[in-house]
């Protein structure tokens, strides 16, 4: 009988016999420096690096080996000289720390080479923004480009000079981070000449957004610092096929949202203060600055120094928010796995910035509060078709300070089915919350993450009476999930309101930290005495640490 040879002892080169496409895929996860090292494996591998369609360049790898940045640039130049003319599927460039050398001219050369190689995906990450990036005109007319990511790090925005001629017929995915488009007219032209754009992400950038697109499906705006340029504070959107909208911004920006008829998910996290130094008054930042770029730069030097981009990791991990494949009639388990609660401390105190926001807002005069409230009502009206809606604590706080505005819009019809909120359940916030519930007849699930330290005025400390609340039968609500509960009076009153009006309510989940487990027992004992519209409702206390 023939002895079967062990694969370990077999001298056969199985790796080299893999299909070329599979070898290229494996090498696509490596920096090109290591890909070139594979040429030492054998004669078969000697020239494989020349045809790999994915080119990854990271300056950190060269810094670790003691190379100068000029050597890094020279290395990239040589790769383009010696590789063959195979099409480039993806080009990734990461330039960390300060730049030494003529990177700007090198970018021009590399981009020209990439366009000639029919590049499909281009990603550039530059830490130093002390230069204006003059991107070659050919990139903005590249017929093969489907994905473009451009990030300029540091404290200041990186200027990108747009050409007068732009047309990207295949661009579907665009991500801009830390960039500045100075010319608003050219910016409008740029977006209008991306006819197939489906996904747009804008992070901490000074860009006027005036988008009219029937193809756009996913939009993410994330700003952790303000922009003082007039044009960049305007957001106009017409996107009838948009299904996902994530927005972290400052309330006093001018948002005009039209025809979001297909919108499925919306995650709205609006900041009240412009920055941590207290620039929150509309008159302080909206009218003091004009289009004088020189004075604009001086003010940004003063106001934005040290204000780093705080939420890059959070921004990067949100790429999977697109939920257009979910069944609208069913509630996904992932939807209730609250990501806010992961950032809460044991007592549910939450993010310090939001606490400061609320303190700042309650100190404003009624006249100064009005623009905030009008902006939130306008935004809420534009989102009336959304199915999954997530709102930050500042949203309810702003609405709670404008009861007259709520009374003037008593019948705003919202199609939301799954509502997720962060709030303190103060008396005023409860008025806003019940307003949302009254105007959301289709809501099936309600998830609330409770905040602490938010009682910032004497009147707001007063208890909310569920009996005095306007009639509000919740004919679709089936699931309530309240996290970080502590058994305070308003929390119990709100639960009483839900049990009384939830005619088809099936489950109430109450979560608290391990140190508050005894509170859950007390809360459950009190809930037993509350009247219930749904006889089959279950109240389930649970520990957040489990």
- Spatial distance between the Cα atoms of 121 and 148, rounded to a whole number of angstroms: 6
Q: Are residues 255 and 245 in the same domain?
A: yes
**Domain membership flag for residue 313:** no
- Spatial distance between the Cα atoms of 148 and 115, rounded to a whole number of angstroms: 13
**Closest C-alpha to 426, from 472, 362, 479:** 362
Look at residues 187, 207, 227 and tell me which one is the last residue of a structural domain. 207
Name the stretches of the chain with pLDDT < 70: 1-12, 63-69, 97-101, 128-133, 154-155, 225-232, 273-356, 403, 410, 452-471, 514-517, 544-546
What pLDDT, on the 0 to 100 scale, is given for residue 274?
54
Q: Are residues 154 and 220 in the same domain?
A: no
Q: How many CB atoms lie within 10 A of CB 538?
A: 10
For 119-174, the pLDDT digits (tens) are 999 999 988 666 666 778 889 999 999 999 999 876 677 888 899 999 999 999 99
What pLDDT, on the 0 to 100 scale, is given for residue 377?
87
Q: Are residues 201 and 267 in the same domain?
A: no
- Token pair belonging to 146: 């489907």
**Could you write out the DSSP letters of every residue in 225-248?**
S----GGGGEEEEE-TT--EEEEE
**Domain membership flag for residue 8:** no
Half-sphere exposure (CA, 13 Å, Cβ side) for 137?
5
Q: How many CB atoms lie within 10 A of CB 170?
A: 15
**Closest C-alpha to 303, from 281, 266, 275:** 275
What pLDDT, on the 0 to 100 scale, is given for residue 391?
93
Q: How many domains does the chain have?
A: 3
What pLDDT, on the 0 to 100 scale, is given for residue 283?
39
Look at residues 183, 207, 231 and tell me which one is the last residue of a structural domain. 207
**Domain membership flag for residue 312:** no
Domain containing 376: what range? Answer: 209-297+336-413+424-439
Give me the helices (H) in 149-183, please. Answer: none
For 301-333, the pLDDT digits (tens) are 444 433 433 344 344 444 444 444 443 333 333
What pLDDT, on the 0 to 100 scale, is given for residue 339?
45
What pLDDT, on the 0 to 100 scale, is given for residue 182?
85
Q: Are residues 429 and 490 in the same domain?
A: no
What pLDDT, on the 0 to 100 scale, is given for residue 300?
41
- Label residues 183-206 b or e (16+ Cβ within 10 Å = b): ebeebbbbbebbeebbbbbbbbbb
**Domain membership flag for residue 520:** yes
What pLDDT, on the 0 to 100 scale, is given for residue 375?
85
Q: Are residues 158 and 174 in the same domain?
A: yes
**Closest C-alpha to 506, from 536, 545, 529:** 536
Look at residues 177, 207, 237 and tell me which one is the last residue of a structural domain. 207
**Domain membership flag for residue 458:** no
**Domain membership flag for residue 324:** no
The overall longest dimension of the chain from CA atoms, in Å, is 95
What pLDDT, on the 0 to 100 scale, is given for residue 72?
86
Q: Are residues 371 and 512 in the same domain?
A: no
Q: Are residues 183 and 218 in the same domain?
A: no
What pLDDT, on the 0 to 100 scale, is given for residue 452?
65
Which DSSP helix (H) or strand (E) runs through 539? strand 538-543
- Spatial distance between the Cα atoms of 537 and 525, rounded to a whole number of angstroms: 15
Q: Are residues 350 and 477 in the same domain?
A: no
Q: Are residues 258 and 365 in the same domain?
A: yes
Q: Are residues 83 and 187 in the same domain?
A: yes
Bridge-based pairing of strands 173-177 and 388-391 is unpaired
- Spatial distance between the Cα atoms of 20 and 29, rounded to a whole number of angstroms: 15
Q: Are residues 493 and 403 in the same domain?
A: no
3-state secondary structure of 521: helix
Could you give the angle at the alpha carbon of 502 between the alpha carbons of 499 and 506, nearest 5°?
A: 90
**Domain membership flag for residue 6:** no
Give me the helices (H) in 171-228, please. Answer: 184-192
- Spatial distance between the Cα atoms of 31 and 49, rounded to a whole number of angstroms: 11
Q: Are residues 134 and 234 in the same domain?
A: no
Asked whether 62 and 33 are in contact (CB, 8 A), the reply is yes
Write the CB contacts of 61 (distance below 8 Å, at least 6 apart in sequence).
31, 33
- Spatial distance between the Cα atoms of 23 and 17, rounded to a whole number of angstroms: 9
User: How deeply is 5 buried, as exposed, middle or buried, from its count of CB atoms within 10 A (0-12, 13-18, 19+)?
Assistant: exposed
For 249-298, the pLDDT digits (tens) are 887 778 899 999 999 999 999 887 654 433 344 333 332 333 333 333 44
**Domain membership flag for residue 264:** yes
């Amino acid at each position: 009988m023939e002895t079967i040879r062990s694969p370990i002892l077999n001298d056969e080169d199985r790796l080299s016999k893999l299909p070329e496409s599979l070898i290229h895929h494996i090498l696509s996860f490596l920096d090109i420096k290591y890909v070139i090292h594979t040429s030492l494996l054998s004669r078969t591998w000697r020239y494989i690096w020349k045809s790999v369609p994915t080119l990854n360049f990271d300056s950190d790898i060269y810094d670790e080996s003691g190379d100068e940045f000029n050597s890094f640039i020279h290395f990239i130049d040589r790769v383009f000289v010696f590789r063959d003319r195979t099409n480039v599927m993806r080009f990734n460039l990461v330039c960390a720390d300060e730049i030494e050398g003529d990177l700007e001219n090198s970018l021009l050369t590399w981009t020209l080479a990439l366009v000639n190689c029919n590049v499909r995906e281009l990603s550039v990450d530059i830490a130093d923004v002390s230069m204006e990036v003059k991107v070659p005109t050919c990139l903005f007319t590249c017929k093969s480009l489907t994905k473009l990511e451009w990030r300029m790090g540091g404290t200041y925005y990186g200027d990108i000079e747009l050409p007068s001629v732009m047309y990207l017929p295949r661009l579907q995915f665009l991500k801009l981070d830390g960039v500045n488009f100075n010319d608003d007219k050219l910016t409008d032209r740029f977006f209008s000449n991306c006819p197939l754009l489906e996904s747009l992400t804008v992070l901490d950038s000074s860009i006027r957004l005036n988008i009219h697109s029937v193809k756009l499906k996913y939009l993410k705006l994330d700003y952790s610092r303000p922009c003082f340029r007039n044009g960049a504070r305007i957001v106009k959107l017409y996107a009838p096929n948009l299904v996902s909208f994530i927005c972290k911004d400052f309330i006093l920006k001018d948002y005009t949202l039209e025809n979001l008829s297909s919108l499925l998910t919306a995650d709205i996290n609006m900041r009240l203060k412009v920055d941590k130094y207290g620039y929150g008054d509309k008159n302080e930042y909206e009218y003091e600055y004009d289009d004088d770029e020189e004075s604009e730069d001086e003010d940004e030097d003063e106001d934005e120094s040290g204000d780093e981009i705080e939420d890059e990791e959070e921004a990067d991990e949100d790429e999977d928010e697109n939920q257009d494949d979910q069944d609208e009639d069913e509630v996904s388990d992932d939807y209730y796995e609250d990501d806010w609660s992961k950032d809460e401390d044991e007592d549910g105190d939450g993010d310090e910035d939001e606490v400061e926001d609320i303190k700042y807002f309650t100190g404003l005069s009624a006249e100064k509060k009005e623009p905030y409230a009008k902006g939130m009502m306008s935004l809420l009206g534009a989102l009336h078709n959304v199915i999954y809606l997530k709102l930050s604590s500042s949203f309810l706080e702003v609405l709670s300070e404008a009861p007259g505005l709520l009374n003037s819009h008593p019948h705003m019809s919202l199609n939301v089915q799954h509502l997720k909120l962060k709030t303190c359940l103060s008396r005023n916030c409860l008025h806003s919350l019940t307003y949302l519930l009254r105007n959301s007849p289709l809501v099936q699930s309600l998830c609330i993450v409770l905040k602490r330290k938010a009682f910032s005025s004497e009147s707001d400390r007063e208890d909310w009476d569920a009996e005095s609340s306007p009639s509000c039968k919740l004919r679709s609500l089936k699931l309530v999930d309240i996290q970080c509960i502590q058994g305070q009076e308003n929390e119990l009153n709100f639960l009483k309101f839900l049990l009384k009006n939830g005619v088809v309510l099936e489950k109430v989940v109450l979560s608290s930290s391990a140190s508050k487990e005894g509170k859950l027992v007390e809360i459950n004992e009190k809930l037993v005495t509350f009247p219930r519209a749904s006889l089959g409702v279950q109240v389930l206390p649970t520990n957040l640490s489990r």
